[in-house]
Amino acid sequence: MKTSFLLYAGLVATLVSPITVFGAESKALTGKFLHITDIHVDPNYLEGSNPKKLCHRKSKKSHKNTAGKFGALHTDCDSPLALVDASFKFMKESLQDIDFIIYTGDTARHDRDNKMERTESNVLDDHKTVVDYFKKTYDVSSIKLIPTIGNNDAVEHNDVTTKSSIYKSLESIWKPFNLNLGGTFQDGGYFIQDDVVPGLRIMNVNSMFFFKKNDAVKGCDKSGSPGATQIAWMKKSLEAAKKDNVMIYVMGHVPPNDDDGSKLFTSSCLDQYYQLLGEYGDIIAGHFTGHTNNDMLTAVVPDGKSFKPVPAIADKSNLKKLKVNNVSTMLFNAPSIIPVNNPAIRVYEYETGKGKEHPIGTILDWNQYYADLEKANKEGKIKYELEYQASKLYGVNKFDSQGIARAFKELRVNSKARQDYSEYVTVSRS
């Protein structure tokens, strides 16, 4: 769809009253959006059960039955409904002044319990449950929600192909969100959402076609493979955005690299993926993922004729060596609801285009909220609070190429920033 986003951007700069985007009336922009990831709702979670039994059954030895009301921190248990309910209650009461929501996947519980294996019905019910929560929490007719597919979101854990049934199912379940789902989603689970903010498009990729653990698809060097086809689509979509003079957010579930810097994508996909992020860094205002449950920054930088990642790995020796100058693209990995760490929710501040200082979509700041789970389980009530504000942690007022370079410098030279960052990576993990 070809549309003059420059005209819309001009209208946004001059109008104070509600704007109209593609025929639908929208509220005035707040310059904020929500990022939530990895809910992993588990209706079978049993308070007072044994975490080693995945919080599904009690042990005969009562002292081992330690699963709390809001979750079992640092275990393999998924999220109880009490935690999911409390998280959406916090969003409903405190996080309404947002323009849109990105949800980077993993809705369903893990298929870890051999005595309670997931069925297709279980997976789809988990999706429906979370969609209902979003609908009850936000007016999805005015606040656009853009979800993506995680590695636990299809019946086939990790092994997602172009033939997976999940695309057709999600097309129906996600219908209330009025998304731009078309042929690319029906055939592969990825799509462009271009009616969120004037001048900003969201490229929603299916990271499962790049994921190293997906044994059902070949790498991106195989002509006609799902990964190669999606890479070609990404390049074509980025070229179209450049031609139309609009900015891009890229979102997906699995990030290219893990928290220790190791590859999460197959090598052939990883190289081509970083090449795209680097080549089109002038129009990619941000890259958003989840999956690892941790909070981490990664810069994509030139490396000769190609590009490479520089991850801010949370150890002192690495952080002291962080040095980047020419940053092409910024990768933001957000922490999760599932209590591998303390549950967390993020709100970004971004450039709406009303001013001319930054390109539309430039990340200006974010607030990271979290809940102290051990305290919540002890007191029988849960409270989300501000964990940190990014601008104060990194000492910058924007997270574009220059801002990220300065943020990495702050981690390199400021011992307090290094210490704080290392704690925040695992959501103030005790």
Query: In tens digits, what is the pLDDT along the chain, a chain of 430 residues?
Result: 444 444 434 433 333 334 334 334 556 899 999 999 999 999 999 999 999 999 999 999 999 999 999 999 999 999 999 999 999 999 999 999 999 999 999 999 999 999 999 999 999 999 999 999 999 999 999 999 999 999 999 988 899 999 999 999 999 999 999 999 999 999 999 999 997 999 999 999 999 999 999 999 989 998 999 999 999 999 999 999 999 999 999 999 999 999 999 999 999 999 999 999 999 999 999 999 999 999 999 999 999 999 999 999 998 889 999 989 899 999 999 999 999 999 999 999 999 986 668 999 999 999 999 999 999 999 999 999 999 999 999 999 999 999 999 999 999 999 999 999 999 999 997 5
Neighbours of 173 (CB within 10 A): 18
Q: Which domains does the chain have, with CATH numbers?
A: 5-425 (3.60.21.10)
Collapsing DSSP states into helix, strand and coil, what is residue 216? coil
CA 123 and chain centroid, separation? 20
CA-closest candidate to residue 348, choices 372, 371, 370, 369 = 369
Cα separation, 394 vs 385, in Å, equals 20
Report the distance separating Cα 356 and Cα 378, nearest Å: 49
| 331: enclosing H helix or E strand | strand 329-333
Q: Concatenate the DSSP letters of all residues of 126-163 into one string.
A: HHHHHHHHHHHHS-TTTSEEEE---TTSSSSSS---TT
Do residues 306 and 271 lie in contact, with contact meaning Cβ atoms separated by under 8 Å?
yes
**Is the Cβ–Cβ distance between 158 and 212 less than 8 Å?**
no
* DSSP-derived 3-state class of residue 159: coil
**Under 8 Å between Cβ of 256 and 273:** yes
- CA dihedral (179, 180, 186, 192) positive or negative: negative
| Secondary structure class of 144 (helix, strand, coil) | strand
CB 310 within 8 A of CB 282: no
Please give the DSSP secondary-structure letter assigned to residue 282.
T
- Residues recorded for the chain: 430
Q: Which residues contact 320 (CB under 8 A, 6 or more apart)?
A: 412, 418
- Residues 6 or more apart in contact with residue 228 via CB below 8 angstroms: 220, 221, 222
Could you tell me the pTM of the whole model? 0.92
**pLDDT tens-digit map of 341-386:** 999 999 999 999 866 689 999 999 999 999 999 999 999 999 999 9
Beta bridge partners of 298: 311, 331
